[in-house]
Chains A and B, each alone.
Chain A
Amino acid sequence: MIGFATRRLLQAVIVMLVVALLAFTMFRFVGDPINQMVGIETSIEEREALRERLGLNDPIAVQFYRFISKAARFDFGTSYQFRQPVSELFAKRIPATLELSLTSALFALIVGIPMGIYAGLNRESPISKLFLSVSLVGISLPTFFIGILLIFLFSVTLQWLPSFGRGETVQIGSWWTTGFLTVSGLKALILPSITLGLYQMTLIMRLIRAEMLEVIRTDYIKFARARGLPDRLVHFRHALKNTLVPVITITGLQLGAIIAFATITETVFQWPGMGLMFLQAVQNVDIPIMSAYLLLTAFLFVAINYIVDMLYFFIDPRLRVGRP
């Protein structure tokens, strides 16, 4: 266990270093940060002076070394746009993104799992087919389009839900703000969570259905039935448990999708999270924010992969047997 943990940690560090290096060498191609930092009338000499001060004229290797040695101390430099330390900016934005991702993942699981179970158990029922087809809408339309349609319906036409922002937030401790504790905060979560969670919901539902279809045909389920156990017990105690492994795998793998789509969702709903900040950083070539964001996502990935691995361990004892 400890051997594994250290080995994985080492790999994680390498992954993050590579992410940083790749990001760093490529950022120079995203655009010229100087143009976004000055007014258009600023003279060429002043632009050059600024470039020099930011160290953008140094060799990439030097810039990279500077970045890494600072990043190791959680200092990601100063944002070009905001002129504030990047770590402070992220600390303020992280709660918003995490709350949104969490809510949308919950939405996907709470809606997706029952639908999937139903569709798996009642393969030929028309409702199952309806579930399957309708859920496809979630993956056949671009996120931004779904978001705008939802805003149009629920904010503009019905005026039930807010179209942007987090509503009122409550400060917890020195660095966490939550929207979970106010009515407006909860209302503000609904539309973005659905927009972000729709794709995951479709995926989870289809996955559960497919696994259910297989599992209920396996011998041990048949045997359990033959023993006279009630259907309900068979389905939920035995069958569902076995479908969870791939769900966890995919949910873990889909983290990337959640993050990628969160940038779009956050932009459409002006959700003040990391994704929105990242996208604006891309638009403004704010290299410190982009690098920090990528490192942070790399870190999240490594962490989530690790947790997923551990979860397997507990859910499916069969997998504990050493495989070749």
Chain B
Amino acid sequence: MKTKSIVAAAALLTAGAGSAVQAETLKFAFQGTLNNLDPYTLNETFTLSSLGNVYEGLTRRGSDLAIEPALAERWEIVEPNRWRFYLRKDVKFHNGNDFTAEDVAFSVERVQSEGSDLTTRVPADAKVEIVDDHTVDFVLSGPNPILHYEWDTFYIMDKEWTVENDAVKVTSASDSTANFAALNANGTGPFKVDSHEAGVKTVYAKNDGWWDTPTHNLDTVEFTPISSDATRVAALLSGELDMVYPIPVQDIKRINDNAGTVALTGPELRTIFLGMDQMRDELLYSDVKGKNPFKDAKVRKAFYQAIDIEGIKKKVMRDLSTPSAIMISPFLFSKAGAFERYPYDPDAAKALLAEAGYADGFTVGMDCPNDRYVNDEAICQAVAAMLARIGVKVDLNAQPKAKYFAKVLASGNFDTSFYLLGWTPGSLDSWNVLSNLMNCRDEAGTGSPFNLGGFCDEKIDSLTKEILVEVDPEKRDGLIENAYQISHDNAYYVPLHQQGLAWGVADNVELVQRADNQFKFRFVTKN
């Protein structure tokens, strides 16, 4: 007993001596890997989220997703087609270089170049004019109220560094040697990349020269990808890691019950929905021949009303989902409250089917990913069981995402009759949803490439065009509401829910869980 306490005291002493300056290390794991450090190679949440700790955009989003000034101190629309950005002075990149207007112009050029996956961040016809060292103008071909909506993830690179290291070209998979920018990073953000081994471990260190006042107290952040859900949860429960995400919904209770860990949950922006082939004259996977039952709105409504969304919420999602009546998160659209789901009513659904001429139901094949969204396969299974109750037999084809997307997207010729998909508008705005999911498309996918079912409603198309250029927010929201109403009335889609976010966090860590599922180290404190 005595020896033990002495040892403990000694440990305390050394700990005390070492922590004159509290050195805090945050260890966290995510399900996927950080494949490379070039900020323009992959337009994907985790990559951009990670690099957002190292690089910064002209704007950034706060804990509530509100747009804040970052590398640009402020901006104004000097003429309808001319935006002026006043850049922050005395900002230095990690290598000590100054941040100037040149860097912005260079970054715009690079992000639009071949091989970039973020070309849409800046409209192709936009021109950049350097006014002085710290002022930049963007000249557009027409008014665009949402120009800067995605600029929080359009990261500014150092021109000098990039040119010096021969990394002007965006890292491409057809290169035979690794691009310098894929393995190294030089941003202006609160953290530097200390070491990076793709797919294994990435270590970040605090940037002491950051322009903003840090609210975090971290010195080092260690990231490890852990792909197996059970292992990721185990690593948190055993105290090996301070934070893991995402955690399976079923383990939330376990993590909360465990001493020392807590599950942080919140709404996410991704909407999960069902879509139906409404373009072909005969479904590819069905026993109905010579016609396409999904062209009939009654059949679509029947499917809608057959789905017990509360059952899915309670049993599959363990209450970690928000049933949705529209195709966008209510956080991203002010008039979302105006919509209400068609009620769950299997009898009404059956009646609708009978009215449409399918009293005995029919068989349809359903495509579903099994490693993409939260409980995706379980949702599809539940949907299949619910449809069975109205006489529709669903042949479920649940596959890994690599095969699923290869089949249902344009590159697979939209090879599906009935599918489950999720969508988060990158710009956090409805125009993105309308133009990607709800406009007409041709067989090659020109138009709305992710309108996999290929329904076509001219009214939605023309509304989408109006919304793009409408500057008055109130009027714009009205137009958006009209478009969503048309989709709802015709049941072009069956929206299911916004899935929830679930992160597992050690009790001594405080952080901000943003609804866009980005994990920003600058909000973290560890005690």
Contacts from A to B (Cβ < 8 Å): 30-32, 34-44, 46-47, 49-50, 53-55, 75, 77-85, 88-89, 92, 148, 151-152, 155-156, 159, 162-165, 267-270, 272, 276-277, 280, 282-285
Cβ–Cβ < 8 Å partners of A79 in chain B: 173
Contact with A along B174-218 (1 / 0, CB 8 A): 111111001100000000000001111100000000000000000
User: In the complex, which range does the number of interface residues on chain B fall in?
Assistant: 35 or more
How many Å lie between the Cα of A305 and that of B257 in the bound state? 52
B234 pairs with A88, CB closer than 8 A: no
Per-residue CB contact flags for chain B residues 94-137 toward chain A (1 = under 8 Å, else 0) read 00000000000000000000110111100000000000000000
User: In the complex, A92 Cα to B197 Cα: how many Å?
Assistant: 9
A75 touches B176 (CB 8 A): yes
In the complex, how many residue pairs between chain A and chain B have their CB atoms under 8 Å apart? Answer: 169
Assuming the A-B contacts A42-B117, A159-B239, are A272 and B199 also in contact, with contact meaning beta carbons closer than 8 angstroms in the complex? Answer: yes
- Chain B hits for A30, CB < 8 A: 402-403
Closest 8 CB pairs of A and B: A39-B43, A31-B402, A32-B406, A35-B405, A163-B234, A272-B200, A31-B406, A82-B198
Given contacts A44-B446, A75-B176, contact A31 B231 (CB under 8 A): no
Q: Are A83 and B426 in touch, CB under 8 angstroms? A: no
**B225 close to chain A: CB less than 8 A:** yes
Q: Are B224 and A164 in contact (CB under 8 A)?
A: yes
- For residue B155, give the distance in angstroms from its CB to the closest CB of chain A: 15
Given contacts A44-B449, A75-B176, contact A82 B224 (CB under 8 A): no
Chain B residues whose C-beta falls within 8 Å of the C-beta of A152 in the assembled complex: 230, 234
Interface status of B378 (Cβ within 8 A of chain A): no
Distance A82 CA – B436 CA, assembled complex (angstroms): 28
B447 CB, nearest partner CB in chain A, Å: 10
Interface string of B17-47 (1 = CB under 8 A from A): 0000000000001000101101001111000
Question: Which chain B residue shows the least CB distance to A35?
Answer: B405
**Distance from A251 Cβ to chain B, minimum over Cβ atoms (Å):** 28
In the bound complex, do residue A38 and residue B174 qualify as a contact, i.e. CB atoms below 8 Å apart?
Answer: no
Between A30, A55, A89, A151, the greatest number of chain B beta carbons within 10 A of the residue's beta carbon is seen for A151
* A35-B411, A148-B230 known; A78-B174 Cβ under 8 A: yes
- Once bound together, how far apart are the Cα atoms of A44 and B402, in whole Å? 17
Residue pair A156, B238 in contact (C-beta under 8 Å): yes
- Contact B228 A267, beta carbon cutoff 8 Å: yes
Contact across chains for A41 and B436 when beta carbons are under 8 A apart: yes
Task: Report the nearest A residue to B197, measured CB to CB.
Answer: A92
Would you list 7 pairs from A and B whose C-beta atoms are within 8 A, ordered by A residue?
Answer: A32-B411, A34-B411, A35-B406, A40-B423, A78-B176, A83-B38, A272-B199
In the bound complex, what is the Cα–Cα distance between A164 and B227 (angstroms)? 10
Q: How far is the CA of A50 from the CA of B200 in the complex (A)?
A: 27
Which of A32, A80, A164 is within 8 Å of B226, CB to CB?
Answer: A164
With A79-B173, A284-B402 given, name 7 new contacts (CB 8 A). Answer: A38-B43, A41-B43, A41-B432, A50-B115, A53-B172, A77-B176, A82-B199
Partner of B237, one of A89, A156, A277, A280: A156
Q: Is the CB of B35 within 8 A of A78?
A: no
CB-nearest residue of chain A to B441: A44
Q: Which residues of B contact A46 (CB under 8 A)?
A: 117, 119
Residues in chain A near residue B183, CB distance under 8 A: 84
- B142 interface residue, CB < 8 Å from A? no
Residues B444 and A44 in contact, CB atoms below 8 Å apart: yes
Bound CA–CA A40/B200 (angstroms): 25
B80 within 8 Å of A (CB atoms):
no
Shortest C-beta distance, B193 to chain A (Å), equals 15
CA distance A111 to B199 in the complex (A): 34
The answer to whether B450 touches A40 (Cβ under 8 A) is yes
Residues of B within 8 A of A32 (CB): 402, 405-406, 409, 411-412
Residues of B within 8 A of A37 (CB): 42, 117, 173
Q: Known: A78-B174, A81-B35, A155-B238. Contact between A89 and B226, CB under 8 A?
A: no
How far apart are the CA atoms of A80 and B199 in the complex, in Å?
13
Closest to B48 in A: A39
Q: How far is the CA of A305 from the CA of B450 in the complex (A)?
A: 50
Task: Using known A-B contacts A39-B44, A83-B41, A280-B33, determine if residue A164 contacts B231 with beta carbons closer than 8 Å.
Answer: yes
